[in-house]
């Protein structure tokens, strides 16, 4: 991982830190949220710079950034698809839904579309097995899915 | 802390308020199982294995976080509690994969112990996952190996790295079942803030963290441990050499939590720097140089050869034509025997050692001001100091474990830290105030601080009146030494000087820590005197957690000085020019002694040039790399008629010798070292020496006997007993008394408990004496041709001339070669890129080495570590001497730097 180079501008970071004078450990979560807002994700080079500028240990920042599901260390789409690959969904041909999403977006699980519209993730169980097979887009649930419905649903998000 | 009565399992015990149940029970011999607890850490209560029942509490409580209170009734082993603990353990085994039969930690693993004690079923042991999960932050690292399968997520490694080492290299990453320990962004450990101290290994309760090189070399259950003292710096950490009796090899180095002075903590050198012991480059046979080539000879031949040559030179040119360099690396016993040999057998006081090059100015300065030239206080008192003033000491690199105490003082106890150093050293992170004085301007800085203290009426009048003399002489010098005047000399803003003065003077207890940045100057003695003035002015001496604390560099530089490896004093700083003392030693050693003080290290080298010294006997020192102005030193080594080198390796110096005598290293001999806080500690034999190597004192005794002055001792203990009879400050020392914990001198008799801090109530010399000191500039200042100021020093990973540290694979991985530090702007001006080879040139020599471009050094200054033979900083350094202490000015010389022209 290259933590020094990188063409990313640190100006947004400086603005964020300017708004939080004497930032310390307890400001870390709001800082990370703002960085994610500004950059769309948490670029490691920006986090390293955050450590340099605030004195908050880089290891601490990394620990927090990887602990919370809300934070992304890689570029992330505007919308997040979470498709279930749990047992109940699997039994109800959940695999086909995963394949349909892949085809519709041209990306594999864990990837983000080039236009930054979607990040496609799969999860172990969404906790709504009675709706199997299920996927979520942002906070919306789509249950009893069929592969041919996928494309229409995704078109609602831009 | 008040006393408290607490009942555990039906029996009443007395404890102190503030103790946790776990601690309290432990003191009283009751063990409560625990996994996330380490006395060095703030209790986290995360493993939940230490649950106990406390009367009146609803559920079980964590013994490690719950403090005792009066009348408390605790039960540690009820059936219910044991059942919960068993469940906790079973849950841990969902995360822990691996089997004890193949684990190195087998025998020393808490998890294993409890699994047995709580009779978990066999099928709880899961096979390791292996594969992808085995790649982690330690992959490829030569020091540590992390095995996520054996990790129970107790967080101790992470916490000790943050709380004790203050490096915060580690973190947990991710959540739930995929939690694991890693560095920030999973970068390789050596690219992180890690310093390879290995504290994380020492705290890990399982086999998850282990020394990589120790893996497969023997399980903990089969290793035997020998307690001894680290052979590197003056902290004198207690280390346990773990030996596999089958292979007789050292498998790993550990240290016991709770031991003095290091509480189980070590630095990279002590923990990973001992590969040299069984290096195949060790000398195994005596060598005599014939026609320019070394030939192996028998001991008999070698001893006879040395004795005859020395006798001949003495009868032809007199005893004063012979000189000896004793060694701060060798034991007290070796040093005592060596100086006795030079004084009684040869008949001269020409004996010195490398303390001349590091703290001669301390010995000279503090002896004049206080009457005794050693660290005034104990290491562990530092953590309770109100203010710590660190000047000219890169503590965390040169004395890493003392660095931990300084960090603890700041982080846990709120001490105010003032750091004065031309380089932005690591301690600056913890400092309330940082001052970057120009190298060689310390007197100006300290005088101005004293000016402020008097001006603002912050001095301790009662102390000055009762305990000191000559204060009147100090005042006039300080009168015009305003911070503004000092600013012009030191480049430090006047306001910062004022702030430093106030912080130091206002603290209840203020400790000064200094080292080579103060002493290695032509004004070294004056720098030391200034610090003594500062301490006396504010009454910060003669009490706990205050004082003037020179940190001694070598493992036994304190002891070598104590035992008279100096040209002007017998053991115990007893002057050779005092007729009464001379008579005392003449009768003790049964020989007429010289009343004339001898030559110092650099003077010896210069006397060779003048044909005054014909023979030089060197025990374990390496002047061919350590002395200033190496071209000149090396010429002298070449010129001297007869050179003997007693060594463990064929060092740069040994190569010049006529005879090389192979000696044993610290791990192969018994004896004592005296650490920087005056603590005499045991060195114990753990492994067999290579080949024919013999201990230094044995060799010396044989040479002396052959020369006609019989010397012989049964063992090192007998030497210490003799030392005690002639050395008042060591009068109460014996191997028996220092067996478990060392003793601090002065310790005049067998009942004396040793001395934690000096000058309580009265100074050694009676009254403390102020010495007015005027500022004088360094010997060589930058000019047009040599526009930079070059300083030299140490670096964390290496020690001195690298003879020992550079044999360590772990250390070579992080510190492969030398460099010169240069400020970013200077580098840009000269078009020098980071890592590019440059030439550093002074009036004395030229060295080619890679540039390290950094903002941690001021513009116009350069810094080079002196450990590397391929980039020997001492080719460049100035051998101008402090007139009093004869210490050379390693810290300042004028230099030029330029890009190396690449041959096309
Ligand atoms: S070796 Fe020391 S500095 Fe490195 S990770 Fe372990 S505790 Fe931290
Ligand atoms: S590596 Fe050891 S100390 Fe660190 S969390 Fe795992 S078990 Fe605990
Ligand atoms: S701090 Fe000094 S004595 Fe302690 S382990 Fe390191 S080198 Fe050895
Ligand atoms: S298995 Fe898919 S929602 Fe539970
Ligand atoms: S030792 Fe108390 S919770 Fe771990």
Question: Residue ranges of the domains in chain B?
Answer: 3-77, 128-276, 287-352+556-708, 376-550, 788-899
Q: Where are the domains of chain A?
A: 5-67, 79-154
Q: Mean pLDDT across the stretch B223-240? A: 94
Interface contact A51, partner B, CB < 8 A: yes
CATH 1.10.10.60 assigned to B287-352+556-708: no
Determine the residue among A28, A47, A59, A62 to mutate to test chain B binding: the one whose Cβ has the most chain B Cβ atoms within 10 Å.
Answer: A59
- Please tell me the CATH code under which domain B3-77 is placed: 3.10.20.740
Return the residue matching tokens 């902290």: B235
Interface contact A91, partner B, CB < 8 A: no
Question: What pLDDT is attached to residue A4?
Answer: 54
Yes or no: say if A80 and A119 are a contact pair by the CB < 8 Å rule: yes
Interface contact A56, partner B, CB < 8 A: no
> What SS3 class is residue B575?
strand
- The answer to whether residue B346 scores a pLDDT higher than 90 is yes
Q: Mean pLDDT across the stretch B6-10? A: 92
Residues from chain B that touch A67, judged by Cβ atoms under 8 A, are: 172-175
What are B554's strand-pairing partners?
B233
The closest-lying atom of ligand 2 relative to the alpha carbon of residue B172 is 5
What architecture does CATH give domain B128-276? 2-Layer Sandwich (3.30)
Query: Among residues of chain B, what percentage have pLDDT more than 90?
Result: 64
pLDDT digits over B474-492, tens only?
Answer: 888 888 899 999 999 999 9
Ligand found nearest the CA of B63:
5
Interface contact B119, partner A, CB < 8 A: no
Nearest to A59 among B168, B174, B429 (CB): B168
pLDDT digits over B12-56, tens only?
Answer: 999 888 899 999 999 999 999 999 999 999 999 888 999 999 999
For residues B805 and B398, what is the distance between their CA atoms, to the nearest angstrom? 13
Please report which confidence band the pLDDT of residue A33 belongs to, taking 50, 70 and 90 as the band edges.
very high
The closest-lying atom of ligand 1 relative to the alpha carbon of residue B157 is 7
Please report which confidence band the pLDDT of residue B433 belongs to, taking 50, 70 and 90 as the band edges.
very high
Residues from chain A that touch B192, judged by Cβ atoms under 8 A, are: 58-59
Average pLDDT, chain A: 87
Domain covering B788-899, topology: Barwin-like endoglucanases (2.40.40)
- The answer to whether residue B215 scores a pLDDT higher than 50 is yes
Residues from chain A that touch B162, judged by Cβ atoms under 8 A, are: 57
Q: Which residues line ligand 5 (CB under 6 A)?
A: B 34-37, 45-50, 62, 64
Ligand 2 test: best mutation among B35, B105, B151, most atoms within 8 Å of CB?
A: B151
Residue B763 DSSP class: B
Q: Are A58 and B172 in contact (CB < 8 Å)? A: no
Q: Are A62 and B168 in contact (CB < 8 Å)? A: no
Ligand found nearest the CA of A82:
4
Residues from chain A that touch B182, judged by Cβ atoms under 8 A, are: 62
Interface contact B854, partner A, CB < 8 A: no
Q: Are B173 and A1 in contact (CB < 8 Å)? A: no
Give phi and psi for B604, each to the nearest 5. -60, -45
For residues A90 and B478, what is the distance between their CA atoms, to the nearest angstrom? 85
Q: Are A63 and B193 in contact (CB < 8 Å)? A: no
Question: What pLDDT is attached to residue B93?
Answer: 83
Q: Which residues line ligand 3 (CB under 6 A)?
A: B 230, 232-233, 235-237, 262, 266-267, 269-270, 400-401
What architecture does CATH give domain A79-154? 3-Layer(aba) Sandwich (3.40)
Return the residue matching tokens 């009820």: B78
- The answer to whether residue B497 scores a pLDDT higher than 90 is yes
- The answer to whether residue A9 scores a pLDDT higher than 80 is yes
The protein residue whose alpha carbon is closest to atom 6 in ligand 1 is B200
Yes or no: say if B888 and B602 are a contact pair by the CB < 8 Å rule: yes
Interface contact A44, partner B, CB < 8 A: yes
Chain B: closest CA distance from residue A134 (Å):
23
Yes or no: say if B775 and B489 are a contact pair by the CB < 8 Å rule: yes
Q: Mean pLDDT across the stretch B751-756? A: 91
pLDDT digits over B349-363, tens only?
Answer: 999 998 888 788 888
Closest alpha carbon within chain A to B172? A63
Interface contact B135, partner A, CB < 8 A: no
For residues B392 and B419, what is the distance between their CA atoms, to the nearest angstrom? 8
**Residue/partner pairs of B163-166 with CB below 8 Å, 24 or more apart:** B163/B40, B163/B41, B163/B42, B163/B411, B164/B40, B164/B41, B164/B199, B164/B265, B164/B404, B164/B407, B164/B408, B165/B195, B165/B197, B165/B199, B165/B265, B165/B404, B166/B404, B166/B407, B166/B411, B166/B429, B166/B430
Interface contact B767, partner A, CB < 8 A: no
Residue B748: partners with Cβ closer than 8 Å, 6 or more residues away: B728, B729, B731, B732
Q: Are B186 and A48 in contact (CB < 8 Å)? A: no
The closest-lying atom of ligand 4 relative to the alpha carbon of residue A94 is 2
Residues from chain A that touch B186, judged by Cβ atoms under 8 A, are: 1
Of A118-122, B307-311, B715-719, which range is least confident? Answer: A118-122
Yes or no: say if B649 and B803 are a contact pair by the CB < 8 Å rule: yes
Please report which confidence band the pLDDT of residue B554 belongs to, taking 50, 70 and 90 as the band edges.
confident
What are B226's strand-pairing partners?
B241
pLDDT digits over A42-95, tens only?
Answer: 998 999 999 988 989 999 999 999 888 888 888 888 898 999 988 888 898 889
The protein residue whose alpha carbon is closest to atom 1 in ligand 4 is A86
> What SS3 class is residue A79?
strand
Query: Among residues of chain B, what percentage have pLDDT more than 70?
Result: 98
Q: Mean pLDDT across the stretch B404-427? A: 93
Question: What pLDDT is attached to residue A6?
Answer: 59
Q: Mean pLDDT across the stretch B319-345? A: 95
**In angstroms, how far is CA B300 from the centroid of its own chain?**
37
Q: How many A/B residue pairs have CB atoms within 8 Å?
A: 51
In short, whether B426's Cβ falls inside 6 Å of ligand 1 is: no
Return the residue matching tokens 């109460």: B732
Ligand 1 centre to CA of B580 (Å) is 54
Q: Mean pLDDT across the stretch B87-97? A: 85
E strand intervals along chain A: 79-84, 118-123, 135-137, 140-142
The closest-lying atom of ligand 4 relative to the alpha carbon of residue A84 is 2
Interface contact A57, partner B, CB < 8 A: yes
Ligand 2 test: best mutation among B138, B155, B202, most atoms within 8 Å of CB?
A: B155
Beta strands B845-854 and B820-823: pairing type?
parallel
- The answer to whether residue B65 scores a pLDDT higher than 50 is yes
Interface contact B116, partner A, CB < 8 A: no
Question: What pLDDT is attached to residue A5?
Answer: 47
Provide the 10 A C-beta neighbour count for residue B140: 11
Q: Give domain B376-550's CATH number out of 3.20.20.70, 3.40.190.10, 3.40.228.10, 3.40.50.10490.
A: 3.40.228.10
Average pLDDT, chain B: 90
Whether residue B574 has a cis bond before it, omega within 30° of 0:
no
This prediction's pTM: 0.88
Q: Mean pLDDT across the stretch B517-533? A: 88
Residue B764: partners with Cβ closer than 8 Å, 6 or more residues away: B370, B371, B372, B758
Q: Mean pLDDT across the stretch B84-103? A: 86
The closest-lying atom of ligand 3 relative to the alpha carbon of residue B239 is 5
pLDDT digits over B460-473, tens only?
Answer: 999 999 999 998 99
- Say which residue, B887 or B559, is predicted with more confidence: B559
Q: Are A59 and B174 in contact (CB < 8 Å)? A: no
Question: What pLDDT is attached to residue B904?
Answer: 46
For residues B189 and B538, what is the distance between their CA atoms, to the nearest angstrom? 45
Structure tokens at B357: 């090059």
> What SS3 class is residue B67?
strand
Nearest to A1 among B158, B171, B187 (CB): B187
pLDDT digits over B637-680, tens only?
Answer: 999 999 999 999 998 889 999 999 999 999 999 999 999 999 99
- The answer to whether residue B627 scores a pLDDT higher than 60 is yes
SS (H, E, C) B767-836: CEECCCCCCCCCCCCCCCCCCEEEEEECCCCCCCCCCCHHHCHHHHHHCCCCCEEEEHHHHHHCCCCCCC
B residues 155-184 near A, CB within 8 Å? 158, 162, 168-175, 182-184
């Amino acid at each position: 991982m290259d933590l020094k180079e990188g063409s990313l501008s640190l100006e947004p970071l400086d603005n964020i830190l300017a708004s939080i004078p004497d930032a310390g450990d307890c400001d870390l979560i709001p800082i990370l949220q703002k960085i994610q807002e500004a950059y769309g994700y948490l670029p490691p080079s920006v986090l390293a710079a955050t450590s340099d500028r605030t004195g908050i240990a880089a290891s601490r920042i990394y620990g927090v950034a990887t602990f919370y599901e809300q934070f992304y260390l890689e570029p992330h789409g505007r919308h997040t698809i979470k498709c279930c690959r749990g047992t109940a969904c699997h039994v109800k041909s959940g695999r086909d839904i995963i394949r349909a999403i892949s085809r519709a977006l041209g990306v594999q699980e864990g990837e983000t579309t080039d236009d930054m519209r979607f990040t496609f993730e799969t999860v172990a169980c969404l906790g709504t097995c009675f709706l199997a097979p299920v996927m979520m887009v942002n906070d919306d649930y789509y249950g009893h899915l069929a592969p041919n419905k996928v494309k229409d649903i995704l078109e609602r998000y831009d | 802390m008040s006393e408290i009565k607490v009942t555990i399992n039906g029996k009443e015990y007395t404890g102190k308020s503030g103790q946790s149940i776990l601690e309290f029970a432990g003191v009283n011999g009751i063990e409560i199982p625990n996994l996330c607890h380490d006395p060095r850490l703030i209790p986290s209560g995360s493993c939940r294995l230490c649950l106990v029942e406390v009367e009146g509490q609803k559920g079980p409580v964590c013994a490690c976080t719950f403090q005792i209170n009066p009348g408390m009734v605790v039960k540690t082993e009820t059936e219910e509690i044991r059942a919960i603990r068993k469940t906790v353990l079973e849950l841990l085994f969902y995360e822990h994969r691996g089997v004890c039969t193949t684990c190195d930690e087998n025998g020393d693993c808490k998890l294993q112990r409890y699994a047995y004690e709580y009779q978990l079923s066999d099928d709880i042991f899961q096979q390791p996952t292996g594969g992808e999960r085995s790649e982690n932050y330690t992959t490829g690292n030569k020091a540590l190996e992390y095995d996520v399968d054996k990790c129970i997520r107790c967080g101790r490694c992470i916490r000790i790295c943050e709380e004790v080492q203050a490096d915060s290299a580690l973190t947990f990453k991710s959540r739930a079942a995929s939690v694991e320990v890693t560095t920030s962004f999973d970068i390789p450990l050596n690219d992180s803030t890690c310093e390879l101290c290995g504290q994380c290994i020492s705290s890990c309760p399982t086999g998850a963290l282990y020394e990589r090189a120790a893996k497969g070399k023997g399980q903990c259950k089969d290793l035997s441990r020998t307690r001894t003292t680290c052979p590197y710096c003056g902290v004198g950490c207690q280390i346990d050499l773990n030996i596999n009796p089958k292979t007789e090899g050292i498998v790993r180095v550990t240290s016991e939590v709770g031991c003095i002075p290091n509480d189980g903590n070590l630095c990279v050198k002590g923990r990973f720097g001992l590969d040299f012991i069984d290096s195949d480059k060790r000398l195994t046979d005596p060598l005599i140089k014939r026609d320019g080539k070394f030939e192996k000879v028998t001991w008999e031949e070698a001893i006879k050869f040395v004795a005859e040559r020395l006798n001949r030179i003495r009868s032809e040119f007199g005893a004063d034509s012979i000189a000896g360099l004793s060694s701060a690396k060798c034991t007290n016993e070796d040093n005592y025997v060596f100086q006795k040999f030079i004084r009684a057998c040869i008949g001269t006081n020409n004996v010195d050692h490398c303390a001349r090059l590091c703290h001669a100015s301390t010995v000279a300065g503090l002896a004049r001001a206080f009457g005794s030239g050693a660290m005034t206080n104990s290491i562990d008192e530092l953590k309770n100091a109100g203010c710590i003033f660190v000047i000219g000491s890169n503590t965390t690199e040169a004395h890493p474990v003392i660095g931990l105490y300084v960090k603890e003082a700041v982080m846990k106890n709120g001490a105010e830290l003032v750091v004065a150093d031309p380089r932005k050293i690591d301690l600056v992170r913890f400092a309330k105030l940082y001052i970057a004085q120009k190298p060689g301007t310390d007197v100006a800085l300290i005088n101005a601080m004293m000016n402020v203290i008097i001006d603002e009426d912050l001095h301790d009048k009662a102390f000055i009146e009762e305990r000191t003399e000559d204060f009147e002489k100090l005042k006039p010098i300080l009168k015009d030494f305003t911070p503004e005047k000092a600013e012009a000399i030191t480049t430090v803003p006047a306001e910062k000087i004022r702030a430093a003065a106030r912080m130091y003077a206002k603290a209840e207890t203020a400790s000064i820590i200094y080292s080579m940045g103060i002493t290695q100057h032509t004004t070294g003695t004056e720098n030391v005197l200034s610090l003594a003035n500062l301490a006396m002015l504010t009454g910060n001496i003669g009490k706990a957690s205050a004082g003037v604390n020179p940190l001694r560099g070598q493992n036994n530089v304190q002891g070598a000085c104590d035992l008279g490896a100096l040209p002007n004093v017998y053991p115990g700083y007893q002057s050779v020019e005092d007729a009464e003392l001379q008579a005392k030693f003449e009768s003790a050693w049964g020989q007429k002694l010289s009343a004339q003080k001898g030559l110092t290290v650099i003077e010896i080298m210069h006397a060779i040039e003048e044909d005054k010294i014909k023979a030089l006997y060197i025990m374990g020192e390496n002047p061919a790399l350590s002395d200033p102005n190496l071209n000149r030193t090396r010429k002298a080594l070449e010129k001297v008629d007869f050179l003997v080198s007693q060594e463990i390796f064929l060092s740069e110096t040994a190569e010049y010798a006529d005879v090389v005598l192979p000696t044993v290293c610290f791990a192969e001999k018994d004896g004592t070292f005296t650490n920087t806080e005056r603590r005499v500690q045991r060195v114990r034999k753990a492994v067999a020496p290579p080949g024919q190597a013999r201990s230094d004192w044995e060799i010396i005794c044989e040479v002396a006997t052959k020369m006609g002055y019989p010397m012989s001792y049964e063992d090192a203990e007998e030497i210490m007993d003799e030392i005690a009879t002639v050395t008042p400050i060591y009068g109460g020392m014996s191997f028996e008394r220092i067996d478990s914990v060392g003793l601090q001198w002065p310790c005049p008799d067998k009942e004396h408990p040793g001395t934690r801090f000096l000058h309580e109530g009265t100074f050694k010399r009676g009254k403390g004496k102020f010495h007015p000191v005027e500022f004088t500039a360094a010997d060589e200042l930058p000019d047009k041709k040599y526009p930079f100021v070059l300083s030299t020093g140490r670096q964390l990973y290496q020690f001195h001339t690298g003879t020992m540290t550079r044999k360590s694979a772990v250390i070579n991985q992080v510190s492969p070669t030398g460099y010169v530090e240069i400020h970013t702007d200077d580098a840009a001006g000269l078009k020098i890129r980071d890592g590019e080879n440059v030439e550093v040139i002074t009036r004395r020599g030229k060295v080619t080495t890679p540039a390290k471009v950094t903002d941690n050094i001021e513009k116009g200054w350069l810094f080079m570590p002196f450990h590397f033979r391929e980039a020997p900083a001492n080719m460049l350094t100035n051998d101008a001497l402090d007139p009093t202490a004869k210490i050379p000015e390693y810290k300042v010389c004028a230099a030029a730097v330029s890009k190396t022209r690449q041959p096309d």
